[in-house]
Amino acid sequence: MVKIALDGPAGAGKSTVAKEVAKRLQMTYVDSGAMYRCVTYLAIKRHVTMQDETGLSNLANAMQLMFIPSEHGQVVHLDGVDVTDAIRSSEVGALVPLVAKHARVRECLVEKQREMARTAHSVVMDGRDIGTHVLPDAVVKVYLTATLDVRARRRHEELVRQGFTGSVADVMKLLHERDEIDGRREIAPMRPASDAVVLDTSCLAIHEVTAMVVSLCQARM
Nearer to ligand C5P (CB atom), residue 115 or residue 215? 115
Q: In whole angstroms, how far apart are CA 85 and each of 61, 78, 93, 137?
A: 22, 12, 12, 32
- Tell me: does residue 143 bind ligand C5P (CB under 6 A): no
* Of the residues 27, 78, 100, 144, which one makes contact with ligand C5P according to CB under 6 A: 100
How many C-beta neighbours within 10 Å does residue 54 have? 10
Q: How far is the CB of 32 from ligand C5P (least distance, A)?
A: 4
Nearer to ligand C5P (CB atom), residue 180 or residue 215? 180
Q: CA-to-CA distance for 146 and 57, rounded, in angstroms?
A: 32
Nearer to ligand C5P (CB atom), residue 128 or residue 154? 128
- Tell me: does residue 20 bind ligand C5P (CB under 6 A): no
Task: Name, in order, each residue with C-beta under 8 angstroms of 128's C-beta and a sequence gap of 6 or more.
Answer: 7, 8, 9, 32, 33, 100, 182, 188, 189, 190
| Residues annotated in a binding site for ATP | 8-16
Provide φ and ψ at 141, rounded to 5°.
-125, 125
Residues in contact with ligand C5P by the rule CB under 6 A: 10, 32-33, 36-37, 96-97, 100, 127-130, 178, 182
